[in-house]
Amino acid sequence: MSTIIFKAREIVKINGLADKITLIQGKMEEIELPYEKVDIIISEWMGYFLLYESMLDTVLYARDKYLKKDGLIFPDKATIFVAGIEDGEYKEEKIGFWDNVYGFDYTPLKETALSEPLVDTVEMKAVVTDPTAVLTLDLYKVQPSDLAFSCPFDLVARRADFIHALVAWFDIEFTACHKPIRFSTGPHTKYTHWKQTVFYLKDVLTVEQGEKVECSLHNRPNEKNRRDLDIKIEYRLDTQDPTRQAEGTCLYKMC
């Protein structure tokens, strides 16, 4: 849709490829390609938390309308991972800030602040639990209806620490390559512009090594704008120490 296409056409021409590359400006759902079917679809459709503001619906439209029976999609697999993190200092700065704003009580805004996931980089040393995969998308098979999902999962503590938030990231795979290629957007690897997505919990969970936090993630596209997300996270820490038991439900909006 961008006007950069005019410069792209110049670049194609000066490199002698005008007879091999055709650039079309417009939305995939509105334009007509000069071919009935294609061999390969290549798209960088991923958004924050993989699905926020993503173009996956458009990729699936192109797949169903244009891809040949044995055609290829690059990338073709995506997985969302979640882990628990200790992030007390930043949570206090982001959420506790509203308790006293230059002497005024702004606590009604704390709930709003908690409902907004934070897109930022998380250091590996902050990760308290083992990561767990909560969703894997196979782009050859996934349907738009699959983007509304509920998934139970457990987080197992690596050490005695506090959990202030859950962090989510995604991995992408190109399984059809001669040598399969995979890259990750997690805190354990090199920086990407997707960073990670942090969901702050209402409670601070106090965990011992090996303890399990039972969670469930519910995600659906917003009814008014499918590129926005409505997310619900439920968590439960059941321990023999009643003072550390905790459970709750948090609602988030990525918009």
pLDDT in tens, the chain (255 residues): 889 999 999 999 999 999 999 999 999 999 999 899 999 999 999 999 999 998 999 999 999 999 999 999 999 999 999 999 999 998 888 888 899 899 999 999 988 889 999 999 999 999 999 999 999 999 999 999 999 999 999 999 999 999 999 999 999 999 999 998 999 999 999 999 999 999 999 999 999 999 999 999 999 999 999 889 999 999 999 898 999 999 999 999 998
Find all residues with CB under 8 Å of 134, minimum gap 6, and list them: 80, 81, 82, 151, 153, 168, 217
The residues annotated as belonging to the active site are: 44, 53
**212-221 vs 149-156, strand pairing mode:** antiparallel
Domain ranges for the chain, please list them: 72-254
- Identify any residues that bridge with 59 across adjacent strands, giving them in sequence order: none
Cα gap 141→78, rounded to integer Å: 12
Q: What is the pLDDT of residue 218?
A: 98
Q: What is the pLDDT of residue 1?
A: 82
Which of 228, 246, 232 lies closest to 199 in space, CA to CA? 232
Burial of 239 (0-12, 13-18, 19+ CB in 10 A): middle
Q: What is the pLDDT of residue 90?
A: 87
Given the candidates 2.70.160.11, 3.40.50.12160, 3.40.140.10, 1.10.3720.10, the CATH classification of the domain at 72-254 is 2.70.160.11
pTM of the model: 0.93
DSSP state, 213? E
- The label of the residue with tokens 């079917």 reads 37
**38-42 vs 67-74, strand pairing mode:** parallel
Q: What is the pLDDT of residue 236?
A: 97
Which of 38, 44, 79 lies closest to 59 in space, CA to CA? 44
